[in-house]
Structure 1
């Protein structure tokens, strides 16, 4: 295959033919064409099937297929062409999402009913959300029988998030988000993005299913996987309006890629080139670890923090179990190849991050600097961890399946009471309903001093009424504050007490002796572990630390001087080197 000039890209001409004829194609650039027919070219079975579906018996079709139009053996060409994919997808006439052939166990009628169901959900939601401005759509006939409805849901599940690999590959992200005209193709059936877009609620995917009976709803969620499907489609809908690099990294971290570097490069096309300057070069000569380091640095310097830097990416649980994470990757670096087995709910951490201001008053003139070995950052030492409680360990994202946090919380309370050396009730049976003093401090810790108020759609600082709900739950295991709410806040966190008596929630890997720091460019505190003797040149004047994770420390989340007992200008600032 002849090399491309910098300004060129190939496209595929699918030559006409009948169903059983051999596939014949041309590869063309803007100046000449390359004959492919008659020459061996290995393609995947899935690509063969969709090309057979798309081929016309009477005329040629112009297509762009990355598997055939980019020389996958030429890394220089790959780097250049991957940078063009944003332009290719954004300017194409139409993008086809191939969901595969209909499963042998699914009848053609059942597959058709599955697509009809999505169109019906969209039409119903438009009527509900717009106050019946349009005629109420006619209920599909197959929904009159639960047997036929269940069959349609089983069919839908085969192309949904639970079973279809398309939803889990990283290169499909650009394919879904960038084109203006998007068509989902499943066997002989097709469904346009415009037809199902009204079914996708920005507030919550389940809202679109309110018109259904309880049995239909349970079937759609349990058998059809509709909730997960609509949720993933909602991500696409939001991304079409534009996402920050932080949001896209949370949404599509750990997507499947044959080359792990593509877990970064496939996302760069969602943003303009100057947004992620290190990563958008798509340099395949770099090793995987350097690509992840560059991406994390791009996140630190993205958006309005391009000049000063913001350590927000360090809340994405970079530290992973040795069996899960990428070997030899710096602990502060976001591993895009995999997600932690025990994450701390990155979406919640990200939303909370902007409400905290632990670094209030600290100068941000000395921006974070990558030395080639470590991340050099200024910060202030708060204290060291002395006492550790049990971790509240959960897997997955479904809070209703989390273990009850009540017993774990009560064990934390016993440690806290003992450290305070106050004769506070271990069983929490006599906690005053006002929840003042140490009780209020403990309850605020459990809530992260923030709660989401759905009526006004805002996060606000915890008030006394919410603290009383915590006390009620700890007393009885019941109340308005559900175990799911606490579970999401405490997920995979470990309670700790510092030498000076501060209480906090940190990474599961936190150990006694770990230090709590407020870094000048981070809005939340972090736990760090002394690395031992300095390994960096003395002129850098840095102290070596291993990054452990972000943490919540009661009393300092809104500034080190928030308690009125300290003056930020009097605090000693030091330069650290994070590994």
Structure 2
């Protein structure tokens, strides 16, 4: 940074209460120094203003902003953003975190986090800076967005598009989609804070180099592309990031497919892919979210506190979620996803968190216990939880023991690829289930009154096909079991082709089944998980750290069963949630009430 000729700007401390600073950016031309003034004002008396959303980039301050004839250092990224949005003939009222918050005052930073949602919710218009465009890609990207928008508005053109990018996808040029790939891979789309910055009703404009595009237009195209997951995969389009963040802070109808968002734990889980410099902000970015108004007073009382360690923040929010809402609390335990877990007593967990506290810095896979899921392994029994000295005590019953586990399943493990020889659908059946062929004769758990083993197997790998029902907007209970079976069998017969492993009867039952839906469900559910069989013959899709000897149990309040690991002095470690065919509708509680299983308290470290 060139030597400054002016003294550094000295921030006046903000008054107690909801006060913020608004920046007035003075007009100027490209080469003119950036200058303006800061005004302290009550958050409800700001008048019209536009917040700026951008990527900080390198934290080094290489430029300066002149405020009241004093100097404030800027990052290069912010300098470029302000130069791009500055008007030549009139001032512009803005809110810019790097300037409107005293970055050297930790206490002020923590207090201002509480107001972030209100700042963006009350905005006249949101400005988004994607960065410079040295390769001149932005114009083509935004032109493609506008072209796709017109295509999707025309019924005939939309059908031509569907055929071209499903049945004839392999013939399409990658180059045609390169502009959109480059757009969706911009760093801004993975920045954690944008979840609330762009998640309100305020209109927004995206600026990339010299080009600009309306945010609602981009999102409309992205929503249309949502069902073309093979297209998105082939051309490297990360449009799912855009779909995720659109209006994330606007309360949806209670009965919509977005009702998952009323759970803070679900929102923390969904945001795991976002990038944040400070891991504590994975919690703090949601402090203005409507899920905090859903009756859990302990969560509603939570405040941003950057004096706490990451571990203290994560333990605090998990504890508040577990103790403050018995009806929905065990989604907290379902959010636990260990990349590693000690195999035997004596070792320690590498992240310094109790095993029952989710580490939101890591993203291992999809959450099976979604709030809108119809599964109820708990049999409508409310959670019974206490926490003392880092030890979680929870009521439930142990059902079975893991006997054999697969390796970790990869993303697209069930993608139909004729060149693959090591098909997971076959190896899991033979190596884990211990079966030699697919037919209707073999019954699940060797029980003549149970489902066929093949049906149980396909349902387990796809977590019951719940995701398809949610995508289609249908009630899970309204889907015929024959349809669910046909989907899985359609994949099975397509993957194995003319193999004599599959009986003629199953080939016939597969006719009319949509293998695409089963593949999509299984790829999502099984990614980064392991498939297992228990001592009693149950099929389990569970955490990748699951191992021989782990205990399968049902905990009160849990939509899914859980896997625990016996530890020292009668205590346990939480391994994670799992899907177990035959335990998803409260059967374990029925067995307990019939005297076949015993209720107990599990102490989890």
The interval holding the TM-score normalised by the smaller chain is 0.7 to 0.9
User: Residue 380 of structure 1: SS of its match in structure 2?
Assistant: strand
Listed one character per residue, the Cα deviations across residues 63-122 of structure 1 (whole Å, up to 9, x for unaligned) are 1001111122222111210000111100011110111111x223xxx5323212212322
State the match for 2:459 in structure 1: 447
1:393 aligned onto 2:409: yes
State the match for 2:351 in structure 1: 327
Listed one character per residue, the Cα deviations across residues 18-54 of structure 1 (whole Å, up to 9, x for unaligned) are 22122112221129xx972543422211100111112
State the match for 1:111 in structure 2: 138
Work out whether residues 443 and 467 of structure 1, in 8 Å CA contact, stay in contact via their aligned partners in 2.
yes
State the match for 2:481 in structure 1: 463
State the match for 1:187 in structure 2: 209
State the match for 2:82 in structure 1: 51
Aligned counterpart for 1:494 among listed residues 530, 539, 544: 530
State the match for 1:549 in structure 2: 576
Listed one character per residue, the Cα deviations across residues 206-254 of structure 1 (whole Å, up to 9, x for unaligned) are 46x9xxxxxxx96x8755x4x422x333223362543322442233114
1:378 aligned onto 2:378: no
Stretches of structure 1 that go unaligned for 5 or more consecutive residues are 133-148, 210-216, 416-425, 534-542
Stretches of structure 2 that go unaligned for 5 or more consecutive residues are 1-10, 43-64, 160-172, 252-260, 343-348, 498-509
User: Residue 177 of structure 1: SS of its match in structure 2?
Assistant: coil
Aligned counterpart for 2:178 among listed residues 125, 137, 154: 154
Aligned counterpart for 1:515 among listed residues 535, 547, 551: 551
1:300 to partner: Cα distance: 4.3
User: Residue 549 of structure 2: SS of its match in structure 1?
Assistant: coil
User: Residue 158 of structure 1: SS of its match in structure 2?
Assistant: helix
1:255 to partner: Cα distance: 1.5
State the match for 1:575 in structure 2: 601
Measure the CA separation in 2 of the matches of 1:432 and 1:272. Answer: 48
User: Residue 558 of structure 1: SS of its match in structure 2?
Assistant: coil
For 1:189-228, what aligned pairs fall within 5 Å after superposition?
Answer: 189-201=211-223, 205-206=226-227, 222-223=234-235, 225=236, 227-228=237-238
State the match for 2:307 in structure 1: 285
1:318 to partner: Cα distance: 2.4
Measure the CA separation in 2 of the matches of 1:314 and 1:376. Answer: 12
1:380 to partner: Cα distance: 1.4
Relative to the length of structure 2, the TM-score reads 0.74
For 1:76-475, what aligned pairs fall within 5 Å after superposition?
Answer: 76-102=107-133, 104-106=134-136, 111-128=138-155, 153-160=177-184, 162=185, 164-201=186-223, 205-206=226-227, 222-223=234-235, 225=236, 227-229=237-239, 231-237=240-246, 239=248, 241-242=250-251, 243-244=261-262, 245-271=264-290, 274-275=293-294, 277-278=298-299, 280-300=302-322, 306-321=325-340, 327-340=351-364, 343=365, 345-346=366-367, 349-351=368-370, 354-360=373-379, 362=381, 364=382, 367-385=384-402, 387-395=403-411, 399=415, 404-412=423-431, 415=434, 426-428=435-437, 432=441, 437=448, 440-448=452-460, 450-451=464-465, 452=468, 457-460=474-477, 463=481, 466-467=484-485
Work out whether residues 131 and 207 of structure 2, in 8 Å CA contact, stay in contact via their aligned partners in 1.
yes
Measure the CA separation in 1 of the matches of 2:104 and 2:350. Answer: 24
Measure the CA separation in 2 of the matches of 1:255 and 1:127. Answer: 35
User: Residue 120 of structure 2: SS of its match in structure 1?
Assistant: helix
Work out whether residues 384 and 516 of structure 1, in 8 Å CA contact, stay in contact via their aligned partners in 2.
yes
Listed one character per residue, the Cα deviations across residues 318-369 of structure 1 (whole Å, up to 9, x for unaligned) are 222379x9711122222111212xx3x32xx14597322221164x3x6323
Measure the CA separation in 1 of the matches of 2:21 and 2:280. Answer: 23
* The 10-residue stretch of structure 1 (387-396 or 397-406) with the greater mean CA deviation from structure 2: 397-406
* The 10-residue stretch of structure 1 (284-293 or 458-467) with the greater mean CA deviation from structure 2: 458-467
Measure the CA separation in 2 of the matches of 1:183 and 1:16. Answer: 20
Work out whether residues 357 and 557 of structure 1, in 8 Å CA contact, stay in contact via their aligned partners in 2.
yes
Measure the CA separation in 2 of the matches of 1:58 and 1:288. Answer: 46
Work out whether residues 399 and 488 of structure 1, in 8 Å CA contact, stay in contact via their aligned partners in 2.
no
Aligned residues: 513
Relative to the length of structure 1, the TM-score reads 0.77
User: Residue 391 of structure 1: SS of its match in structure 2?
Assistant: coil
1:474 to partner: Cα distance: 5.6
Work out whether residues 377 and 587 of structure 2, in 8 Å CA contact, stay in contact via their aligned partners in 1.
yes
Measure the CA separation in 2 of the matches of 1:355 and 1:326. Answer: 34
1:298 to partner: Cα distance: 4.6
Measure the CA separation in 2 of the matches of 1:301 and 1:59. Answer: 53
1:413 to partner: Cα distance: 5.5
